Structure 1
Amino acid sequence: MPTLLRPHAGVATALALLAQAAAAAEPEVQWLRYELPPLYITQGPLQDRGVLDQALARLLPRLAGYQHRIVTVPPKRMEASLRSLPNACAFGMLKNAERESFLTFSTPFPIHVAPGLMVRRADLAALAPLRDARGRLSLQGWLNNPELKLGLAEGRAYGAAVDDVIAALPAGRVERLSSQNPALNLLRMLELGRVDGVLMLPFEPAALAAAHGLKLDELRLLALVEQTTARHGHVACARGELGAAIVRRANTVLAEPAWQQGLSSGSASP
């Protein structure tokens, strides 16, 4: 019977060190996210079980050769980090002209959730002339009243059409919040009359009400004329060799029919 040779302890240690060195040599990619249930859930009993959390968990094993680290940041710091960190990426991000100047974007995948404007129910009658036959509100028409103030989350994109309308506003017309949970604070500001309307995604009010005991009876979310129901999310990485390589690999995965189907139902973007 042949004798089984066991590696000398020194050899085993050397092999382990080599394996560690090989892992350490793999470039690290930081995947940035912020609290946005049900897309990203960063705390509580459902932590990491958001729609995009789970999709990202499926994607990362397909991007071998890198060390992947998921990092939770406030919304405002997320975009600043994507600008400054050469190894930063985000999953499910909307594309706009400003972001294209410092990010490399993957091919798009469809998103079927569009933002609306949350207003006080007491204001609905005055808004009737600004709504079309389908009940959608003209955001531009609403903002033509210089006395109205808009609330939104700092660093967030709402889709190119809505973002263009916001970009044309003077700073004093917009209340931008950058807290850990800006949507919650914006709803409270709307109730108190500190803002007159808040941009939100359709799933946010109910999720916030359930988590924080909010009463939404006196508020109403209106769909917007400017925004179609279909948008597109992307893998977005800081411009550079590393980001371009990650995006190329992601494009291969995103092109698979199973991914297109899985990401097209009920998803939205930061």
Structure 2
Amino acid sequence: MLFPRLSLVAAFALLAQTAQGAPEAEPEVLWLRYELPPLYITEGPMQGRGVLDQALGRLLPRLKGLRHRIVTVPPKRLEASLRDLPNACAFGMLRNAERETFLTFSIPFPIHSAPGLMVREADLPRLSALRDAKGRLSLQGWLNDPDLKLGQAEGRAYGAAVDDLVAALPARRVERVSSQNPALNLLRMLERGRVDGVLMLPFEPRALAATHGVKLNGLRLLPLVEQPTARQGHVACSRSELGAEVIKRANVVLAEPQMQTGYSSGSRPSDRP
């Protein structure tokens, strides 16, 4: 299947609206995603075989009476597209207070992937007092140092506890990157000393090392005290009549035991049916 880029999103929305105007046409739902291997793989020989790609592939045939189109967008445009397009949804979204103002969420399902803070190994000695017996870092304690600057991908959510801590920071303390591959840019900024720590999911450094030859020597990803090991993912849709209907139907499917077994970023595509 060909996954179009953001430049075609508006065209898809127009087509969907036209189709909905026809008496017998099924309404079209746009499922937005971006490159985030191994959860979503949007290009290359493994295209469409990410962990959440496959879970979405099991969900969509169960949502009868709807047409579905999967659209790839840059990370910085995901939330804006969900705001602007009344027929837009996303699979695997985290729920937070800001998103609740413009999105409707399904019941949760577990995603076994918790964010950590990537730091320079040279800084580890002065962080020892902030780490517990399991080696987890207190993000609150780290953020209490007014001289430290945090890097994160713009538009990304990391879980309610982490998001709330970051939201309380003054703008000058956070470097938000909105490029096509923000994780890659953030790692380079960390290496060059432009930021002091970067929020990342555990699979992102490995993926960047494999796909872009990033050298991880001298960097360390620390798990966080504030973040549980499993996050709650959701189907999220625009606040519209169609969005509410999609969520209603998705809830029936997501309540089934096989959809509640959890999705792990460490799983290979072949690990799940």
Q: Is the 8 A contact 1:52 1:267 kept in 2?
A: no
Q: CA deviation at 1:42?
A: 1.0
1:142 matches 2:142: yes
In the TM superposition, 1:37-186 aligns within 5 A as 37-186=37-186
State the distance in 2 between where 1:24 and 1:40 align: 33
d(CA) in 1 for partners of 2:155 and 2:24?
Answer: 32
Q: What's the TM-score, normalizing by structure 1? A: 0.88
Give deviations 1:122-155, integer Å, cap 9, x for gaps. 1000111111111111111111111111000000
Task: Give the gaps of 5 or more residues in structure 1.
Answer: 1-20
Alpha-carbon deviations, 1:185-225, whole Å to 9, x = none?
Answer: 11111111111100001111111101111111110000111
**Local SS of the residue matching 1:43:** coil
Distance 2:123 2:115 in 1: 19
Does the Cα contact within 8 Å between 1:102 and 1:238 map onto a contact in 2?
yes
Structure 2 partner of 1:36: 36
The question of whether the paired residues in 1 share the 8 Å contact of 2:203 and 2:266 is answered with: no
Identity across matched positions, percent: 78
What CA distance in whole angstroms lies between the structure 2 residues aligned with 1:157 and 1:184? 17
Partners of 1:169 and 1:265 lie apart in 2 by: 30
Other structure's SS at 1:40 match: coil
How does the TM-score come out when normalised to structure 2?
0.87
Matches within 5 A, 1:115-264: 115-261=115-261, 263-264=262-263
Specify the code of the residue in structure 2 equivalent to 1:58.
Answer: R
Distance, in Å, in 2 between the alignment partners of 1:62 and 1:89 is 15
What root-mean-square deviation, in Å, do the aligned CA atoms of Structure 1 and Structure 2 show? 1.7
Equivalent residue for 2:13? Answer: none
1:24 CA displacement: 7.2
Structure 1 residue 106, shift from structure 2 partner: 0.5
Structure 2 residue runs of 5 or longer lacking an equivalent are 1-20, 268-273
Measure, in 1, the Cα distance between the counterparts of 2:177 and 2:109.
28
Q: CA deviation at 1:113?
A: 1.4
How many residues align? The count is 247
Indicate conservation of the 8 Å contact 1:109/1:234, yes or no. yes
Whole-Å separation in 2 of the counterparts to 1:23 and 1:91: 28
CA contact (8 A) 1:111 1:267 kept: no
Q: Distance in 1 between matches of 2:194 and 2:47?
A: 31
Mapped contact 2:39–2:265 kept (Cα < 8 A) = no
- Aligned counterparts of 1:43 and 1:264: Cα–Cα separation in 2: 21
Paired AA for residue 248 in structure 2: R
